[in-house]
């Protein structure tokens, strides 16, 4: 006799074109969170999701005021108290489509070329959200869900989720679940299903250095005044040594070390130097000695200068000693490091090394801690099995070099771990013109989520 899992999977295949059309419908909504001009489109997209959830039988589906764009909530408690409750996370906002002249078609008029669906948001992350919703619709076609679900779709992820911390603190009980399913992480390659179990945090600073009270004539005062640009350049140059190690006092004290098992898992997906040289256009790679490229990218902290300016930069000469110089620094942090502690370390470095002839100030512009989940977390083990079954490949494990702050907030505020994966690819042109989604992976993603829900209900993977 055919099982409900088999029936739901067959339904998903039979109705794949319907799911693609639904994805195209939501992709037509210009839900650009960074531009207030599109506020009505943001509300329209949230309302679309509420209506979709209600169509699935989510009677409590609603838009909630977050202080910014609406957050969509809903719940389906069909499985009963003995089964897990999973929070489905997604974001419905997208990046602006600019530059428009580089698109081969209207970014909000989705088209299919071969096996690719092209539109803004197709990969990041409306396509990933619709994978989860299409899987749920396929299961509900044959009865009730085997697990309990809650939903959180936010509309401000692309602008840093400025209100999500206060929102989650205010609604802790409403969203409390056993864990989160987040498909906003993606795959490293089409033949390499991927589990992201670690995310680096971010600490972002602006340093300003002041020398004289105003710009000075370099002929009249050159030789007796410490140039602020020189001082700032020397300070920045001293923040790393020749081995690529960061020299801020105590910077590595809290860094979570890599054990041999984890190093082996990470290095299963490492690429040779030639790959990174081709991707970046540099002459050769450079990084902290003693670590591989994949370890440097995801499991080790970094310090990078994102911009430096001061003085005269216009056409022709202007012989001045500038009064001020500025630099922006970003530090990618690993588990156990905190932005607050790193600020203390940066401040101490400046106190110890800044020339006495200048004044300086540090402004903290962004602060997101790192996040890590055990590779043996029971939800992760279940997803590994589902990916192996559907994709025919054992997933690789990855620590993401960038940040997905919502995972940290779920962990710190709600005490919930996130199971992170996805079916987007590096070549999907996320945030760029001609964003795309591989429809074969869209189909495989739906099958994987169906299998995952049934597997969680039956095995628990504990």
Instruction: Indicate the pLDDT class of residue 94, thresholds 50, 70 and 90.
Output: very high
State the Cα–Cα distance between residues 236 and 71, nearest whole angstrom.
41
Q: List the one residue out of 212, 221, 210 whose CA is nearest residue 319.
A: 221
CB 275: neighbour CB atoms within 10 A? 12
Q: Where are the domains of the chain?
A: 4-199+370-458, 201-255+301-368
Residues 6+ apart with CB under 8 A from 237: none
CA angle (169, 131, 33) in 5-degree steps: 50
State the Cα–Cα distance between residues 447 and 444, nearest whole angstrom.
5
Using one digit for the tens of pLDDT, what is the confidence trace for 213-250? 999 999 999 999 999 999 999 999 999 999 999 999 99
- What pLDDT score was predicted for residue 351? 98
Using the structure block, give the residue that is written with the tokens 């190093």: 263
Range name among 185-194, 316-325, 438-447 with the lowest pLDDT average: 185-194
Dig out the tokens for 265 from the structure.
């898992």
State the Cα–Cα distance between residues 150 and 130, nearest whole angstrom.
15
State the Cα–Cα distance between residues 384 and 382, nearest whole angstrom.
5
Residue 451: in which H helix or E strand, if any?
helix 439-458
CA 415, 412, 403, 245 dihedral sign is: negative
Instruction: Indicate the pLDDT class of residue 293, thresholds 50, 70 and 90.
Output: very high
Contact criterion met (CB below 8 Å) for 398 and 195:
yes
- What pLDDT score was predicted for residue 266? 86
CA angle (328, 332, 336) in 5-degree steps: 130
State the Cα–Cα distance between residues 78 and 81, nearest whole angstrom.
9
Answer whether 4-199+370-458 and 201-255+301-368 agree in fold: no
CA angle (360, 362, 363) in 5-degree steps: 140
Q: What is the DSSP letter of 275?
A: H
If one looks up domain 4-199+370-458 in CATH, what number appears?
A: 3.40.630.10
Q: List the one residue out of 419, 254, 230 whose CA is nearest residue 331.
A: 254
State the Cα–Cα distance between residues 25 and 18, nearest whole angstrom.
11
* 366 has pLDDT over 90: no
Using one digit for the tens of pLDDT, what is the confidence trace for 276-292? 888 788 999 999 999 99
Using one digit for the tens of pLDDT, what is the confidence trace for 131-144? 999 999 999 998 89
* 402 has pLDDT over 90: no
Higher pLDDT, 6 or 402: 6
CB 192: neighbour CB atoms within 10 A? 16
Using one digit for the tens of pLDDT, what is the confidence trace for 55-68? 999 999 999 999 99
* 395 has pLDDT over 70: yes
State the Cα–Cα distance between residues 202 and 270, nearest whole angstrom.
23
Using the structure block, give the residue that is written with the tokens 């977390």: 377
Contact criterion met (CB below 8 Å) for 296 and 287:
yes
Residue 415: in which H helix or E strand, if any?
none
Quick one: average pLDDT of 341-352? Answer: 98
Record: fold of 201-255+301-368: Alpha-Beta Plaits (3.30.70)
- What pLDDT score was predicted for residue 413? 95
Q: List the one residue out of 264, 326, 275, 328 whose CA is nearest residue 299.
A: 264
CB 377: neighbour CB atoms within 10 A? 18
State the Cα–Cα distance between residues 52 and 134, nearest whole angstrom.
10
- What pLDDT score was predicted for residue 416? 96
pTM for this predicted structure: 0.85
- What pLDDT score was predicted for residue 142? 87
- What pLDDT score was predicted for residue 197? 92
- What pLDDT score was predicted for residue 462? 59
CB 290: neighbour CB atoms within 10 A? 11
Dig out the tokens for 126 from the structure.
């409306």
Q: What is the DSSP letter of 220?
A: H
């Amino acid at each position: 006799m055919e099982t409900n899992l088999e029936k739901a999977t067959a339904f998903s295949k039979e109705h794949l074109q319907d799911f693609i059309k639904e994805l195209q419908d939501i992709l037509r909504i210009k839900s650009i969170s960074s531009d207030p001009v599109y506020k009505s489109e943001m509300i329209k997209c949230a309302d679309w999701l509420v209506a979709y959830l209600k169509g699935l039988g989510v009677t409590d589906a609603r838009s909630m005021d977050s202080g910014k764009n609406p957050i969509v909530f809903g719940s389906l408690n069909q499985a009963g108290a003995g089964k897990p409750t999973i929070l489905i996370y997604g974001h419905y906002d997208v990046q602006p489509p600019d530059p428009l002249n580089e698109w081969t078609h209207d970014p909000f008029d989705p088209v299919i070329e071969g096996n690719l669906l092209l539109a803004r948001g197709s990969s990041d992350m409306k396509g990933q959200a619709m994978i989860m919703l299409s899987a749920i619709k396929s299961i509900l076609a044959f009865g009730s869900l085997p697990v309990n679900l809650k939903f959180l779709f936010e509309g401000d992820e692309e602008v840093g989720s400025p209100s999500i911390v206060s929102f989650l603190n205010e609604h802790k009980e409403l969203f409390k679940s056993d864990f989160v399913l987040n498909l906003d992480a993606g795959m490293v390659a089409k033949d390499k299903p991927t589990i992201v179990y670690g995310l680096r945090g971010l600490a972002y600073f602006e340093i300003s250095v002041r020398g004289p009270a105003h710009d000075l004539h370099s002929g009249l005062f050159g030789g007796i005044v410490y140039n602020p640009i020189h001082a700032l350049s020397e300070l920045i140059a001293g923040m790393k040594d020749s081995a690529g190690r960061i020299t801020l006092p105590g910077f590595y004290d809290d860094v979570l070390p890599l054990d041999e098992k984890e190093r082996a898992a990470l290095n299963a997906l490492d690429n040779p130097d030639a790959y990174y040289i081709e991707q970046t256009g540099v002459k050769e790679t450079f990084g902290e000695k003693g670590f591989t490229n994949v370890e440097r990218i995801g499991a080790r902290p970094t310090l990078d200068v994102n911009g430096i300016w001061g003085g005269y930069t216009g056409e022709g000469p202007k012989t001045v000693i500038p009064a001020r110089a500025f630099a922006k620094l970003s530090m990618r942090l690993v588990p156990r490091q905190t932005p607050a502690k790193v600020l203390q370390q940066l401040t101490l470095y400046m106190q110890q090394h800044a020339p006495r002839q200048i004044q300086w100030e540090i402004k903290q512009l962004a602060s997101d801690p790192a996040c890590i989940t055990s590779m043996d977390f029971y939800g992760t083990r279940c997803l590994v099995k589902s990916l192996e079954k559907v994709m025919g490949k054992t997933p690789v494990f990855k620590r993401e070099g960038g940040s997905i702050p919502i995972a940290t907030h779920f962990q710190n505020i709600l005490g919930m771990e996130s199971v992170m994966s996805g079916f987007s690819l590096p070549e999907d042109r996320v945030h760029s013109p001609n964003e795309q989604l591989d429809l074969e992976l869209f189909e495989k993603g739906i099958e994987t989520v169906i299998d995952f829900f049934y597997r969680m209900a039956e095995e628990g993977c504990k």
